[in-house]
Amino acid sequence: MDSALDFHGLRALLQWQVELGVDEAIGDVPVNRYEAPAAAPKAVAPAAQKAVPLHAAPDAEAAARQAAEGANDLDALRAALAAYDHCELKRGARNLVFADGVPGARVMIIGEAPGREEDRAGRPFVGQAGKMLDRMLASIGLSREENVYITNILPWRPPQNADPKPGEIAMMRPFMQRHVELAAPEMVILVGNISCQAGLGERGITKLRGKWTEAWGKPALPMFHPAYLLRTPAAKRAAWADLLAVQARLRGDAS
Ligand code: URA
């Protein structure tokens, strides 16, 4: 039997489903899946994989690099971001959303950008997607209170939660490079396309997910974004496999 599906794996999977809100079996009679049509319906995949060139105005990128490299700790990096004036998103945002969790944790989650609730609270992942992320982390014994550090590529909310523009992502990359250096995790988890675009230079989370790679000098695992999992329950199976890969790596038995 696949080691991920031994007794403990199955029990953790069941526990995860309970944490996701599954509290009853649907239907009075069991469904014989062997009689179901062979091809299960496919989840609608997010945007296709493609390399995405990222360019910001040269002065914006140079200013970001200088500000980021001058920060010697996380407080200084937060202050450098707060003082950075080249990103239009800053003007429409209520708060700078810098990070949450435990600096120095072995795992650093990198999301996309704050939404409405994050913008209000000044903390990443506090809305519905954040609750989903917390449940995902809990399923492998992790939490932002104890052993995970969480941030986003964009520290300011894009209007109407629009996808950040390539120029905005590009100007934030030097800050993320420094953020990863200062937080010093053992691994980063890139949730969703925007963090893959920033960290790997490519999009296409459906193809990228589940394969260890490197971003900002650290082992990196792309995963589906929790907001996507909320919209696409069929993708939770893949997310579960990726969480087990993180757990295995933390235990020291991953490739
Ligand atoms: N989605 C993200 O990528 N980050 C947040 O902080 C909230 C939602």
Residue 218: which CATH number? 3.40.470.10
Does the C-beta of 152 come closer than 6 Å to ligand 1? yes
Does the C-beta of 158 come closer than 6 Å to ligand 1? no
Who contacts 29 (Cβ-Cβ below 8 Å, separation ≥6)?
none
- Establish if 96 belongs to a structural domain: yes
- Gap from CA of 134 to ligand 1 centroid (Å): 12
Q: Phi/psi of residue 212, each to 5°?
A: -65, 140
Query: Which ligand 1 atom lies nearest to the CA of residue 195?
Result: 3
- Round to whole Å and give the CA distance between 223 and 104: 21
- By C-alpha distance, which of 98, 95, 92, 121 is closest to 111? 98
- Say what the pLDDT of residue 28 is: 56
- Say what the pLDDT of residue 27 is: 54
pTM of the model: 0.82
- Gap from CA of 111 to ligand 1 centroid (Å): 6
- Gap from CA of 112 to ligand 1 centroid (Å): 6
- Say what the pLDDT of residue 41 is: 46
pLDDT per residue, tens digit, the chain (255 aa), is: 444 556 666 676 677 666 665 555 555 566 665 665 555 544 555 555 567 667 888 899 999 999 999 999 999 999 999 999 999 999 999 999 999 999 999 999 999 999 999 999 999 999 999 999 999 999 999 999 999 999 999 999 999 889 999 999 999 999 999 999 999 999 999 999 999 999 999 999 999 999 999 999 999 999 999 999 999 999 999 999 999 999 999 999 755
- Establish if 4 belongs to a structural domain: no
- By C-alpha distance, which of 217, 229, 165 is closest to 191? 229
- Say what the pLDDT of residue 21 is: 54
Does the C-beta of 112 come closer than 6 Å to ligand 1? yes
- Establish if 147 belongs to a structural domain: yes
- Establish if 207 belongs to a structural domain: yes
Among 98, 123, 152, 225, name the best residue to mutate to test ligand 1's pocket (greatest count of ligand atoms within 8 A of Cβ). Answer: 152
How many domains, in total, are found in the chain? 1
Does the C-beta of 99 come closer than 6 Å to ligand 1? no
* Residue span of the structural domain in which 108 resides: 58-251
- Establish if 90 belongs to a structural domain: yes
- Establish if 44 belongs to a structural domain: no
